[in-house]
């Protein structure tokens, strides 16, 4: 009888922790669901990259691949 009671306690503890973990994930999801990560920056923001208009030739691209591993 003692082992059955210990099994029930472990099962209830596991179930309680699982439910707590699940609802904490749901809470975090609701908290950050409408968080606008991709809004335009406000103030004096500076663009940090430029678009290269001329495509690189294949030799420079190959050397870039060997040098940087991309």
Query: Of residues 49 and 67, which shows the higher confidence score?
Result: 67
Per the confidence metrics, is the pTM higher than 0.85? no
Mean pLDDT of 40-59: 74
Contact indicator for 70, 64 with CB cutoff of 8 Å: yes
Q: What is the pLDDT of residue 4?
A: 95
Contact indicator for 47, 55 with CB cutoff of 8 Å: no
Given a cut of 70, is residue 11 above it in pLDDT?
yes
Q: What is the pLDDT of residue 70?
A: 58
pLDDT digits (tens, 9 = 90+) for 53-66: 666 688 888 888 88
Q: What is the pLDDT of residue 24?
A: 97
């Amino acid at each position: 009888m003692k082992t059955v009671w210990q099994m029930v306690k472990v099962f209830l503890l596991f179930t309680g922790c699982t439910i707590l973990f699940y609802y904490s994930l749901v809470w975090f999801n609701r908290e950050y669901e409408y968080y606008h990560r991709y809004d335009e920056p406000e103030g004096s923001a500076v663009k940090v990259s430029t678009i290269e208009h001329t495509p690189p030739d294949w030799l420079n691209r190959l050397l870039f691949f060997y040098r940087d591993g991309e």
